[in-house]
Structure 1
Amino acid sequence: MSIKHGLLALLDQGPRYGYQLRTEFEERTGATWPLNVGQVYTTLGRLERDGLVLPDGEDEEGHVYYRVTDRGRAELRSWFETPVPRTNPPRDELAIKLAMAVTVPGVDVHAVVQGQRRHSIQALQDYTRLKARALAGMTDPAAGGAELAWLLVLDQLIFQTEAEVRWLDHCETRLAQHRPQAVPAPQPAPTVRGRNKQRQGER
């Protein structure tokens, strides 16, 4: 997730202070990826260091506003125009878990797959309900672009979860076709006393 570019996109619409940025970021993404204010200000500090934003005064309550610079706008346009790379896919905990499960003795891999499948289907149902609410909200003229932004995020979550369920079904098929060889239990390293006995036996 690019918090940096998300904040630049918000600042491109006008100066804002940290808490406003956090609130608007979460409104547009449905708080799918919640931010804390400290995270926002840390990112703003880096953006200022790199010349992408500048402080733009304070309000009566002491909130420091930030505005995007021309360099920041160029960075934002480049981000929008450049495809998200897939050369280094993010770590997927579920894929790692199953990869480990099939190699560790005593793990019921089928139970792991079934448990995850139930969880993913429940998540899919939850996302679908949220999408129905978001679609209903689209009829409100006051909703603006924030409701559409949230709907796009929900669509992505739904497609991703549907793909995960299909992949889990595929994993079950793959497991049924494959009979893993028994993995011998690891042998404990011999103690000093055990090694001495072994040497005496060799003599």
Structure 2
Amino acid sequence: MSVKLALLALLEQEPMYGYQLRAEFEARTGATWPLNVGQVYTTLARLERDGLVEGAGTDEEGHVNYRVTDAGRTEVATWFTTPVSRTQPPRDELAIKLALAVTVPGIDVGAVIQRQRSASMAALQDYTRLKRAGAAAAPQERVDLAWSLVLDSLVFSTEAEIRWLDHCEARVRRAAVEAAGARPTATDAAPRPGSPARAQEEVR
């Protein structure tokens, strides 16, 4: 997620200071990705350095307002019209955990998957309750539509995660069965009657 570009997009509407930007961002995303106000001001300083925002004076309480520059508007327009790149997918802690779990001896991969599935199911239930509550509420402003879209994204991604966990469990079980089938047993190791090896033993 690009905090820089999100803040620029908000500043296109009107000049704001750091605390306002944080509040606007969290209101539109349902506080799904909380921002530290220090992070906001650090980002604003970088945007100002890069010529994408500029100071717009102070308010009565002494807050420094920022407004987007023409270069900043161009940056925002490019962001909205350019697809999000998938060439470098973000690090997925769960995928990394399972990749290591299947390669580290002594880890009960099935238990790891089951615990995660339970947690993901609980999260999905919470998201679904929020969706129902939103659907039951009276029609409100566009900010609620923004939060609803974020909530839809969370629901879809969690459903996909649960399906992926089911897939992982099936793959792990199949791999265990195949490994057990390929492992020679004491009976398999002994030459079968009529085999060349058994005939050689009998000659001896």
TM-score in terms of structure 2 length: 0.85
Shift in Å, 1:79: 0.1
Instruction: Tell me which structure has the larger Cα radius of gyration.
Output: 2
Residue 160 (structure 1) aligned to one of 152, 157, 161: 157
Matching of residue 147 in structure 1 with residue 144 in structure 2: yes
Structure 2 partner of 1:200: none
Gaps of 5+ in 2: 181-204
CA distance in 2, matches of 1:8, 1:131: 29
Gaps of 5+ in 1: 183-203
Letter in 1 for 2:158: T
Q: Superposition pairs for residues 160-199 of structure 1, below 5 Å?
A: 160-179=157-176
Structure 2 partner of 1:126: 126
Shift in Å, 1:3: 0.4
CA distance in 1, matches of 2:134, 2:67: 31
Residue 91 of structure 1 aligns to a residue whose secondary structure is coil
Shift in Å, 1:105: 1.0
Contact 1:55 1:64 in 2 (8 A): yes
Contact 1:55 1:66 in 2 (8 A): yes
CA distance in 2, matches of 1:28, 1:63: 22
CA distance in 1, matches of 2:136, 2:142: 14
Q: Superposition pairs for residues 20-59 of structure 1, below 5 Å?
A: 20-59=20-59
CA distance in 2, matches of 1:181, 1:64: 65
CA distance in 2, matches of 1:80, 1:146: 18
CA distance in 2, matches of 1:135, 1:20: 28
Structure 1 partner of 2:108: 108
Residue 141 of structure 2 aligns to a residue whose secondary structure is helix
Structure 1 partner of 2:12: 12
Shift in Å, 1:181: 5.5
Shift in Å, 1:41: 0.3
Shift in Å, 1:134: 2.4
Please list the CA deviations of residues 132-160 of structure 1 after superposition, one character each: whole Å capped at 9, or x if unmatched.
Answer: 222234x33xx321100000000000000
Contact 1:135 1:151 in 2 (8 A): no
Structure 2 partner of 1:83: 83
TM-score in terms of structure 1 length: 0.85
Q: Percent identity?
A: 69
CA distance in 2, matches of 1:13, 1:135: 28
Give the aligned CA root-mean-square deviation in angstroms.
Answer: 1.3
Please list the CA deviations of residues 3-36 of structure 1 after superposition, one character each: whole Å capped at 9, or x if unmatched.
Answer: 0111011100010111000001000000000001
4+ long deviations beyond 3 Å: none
CA distance in 1, matches of 2:134, 2:28: 12
CA distance in 2, matches of 1:48, 1:123: 39
Letter in 2 for 1:121: M
Residue 178 of structure 1 aligns to a residue whose secondary structure is helix
Letter in 1 for 2:141: G
Letter in 2 for 1:176: R
Structure 2 partner of 1:198: none
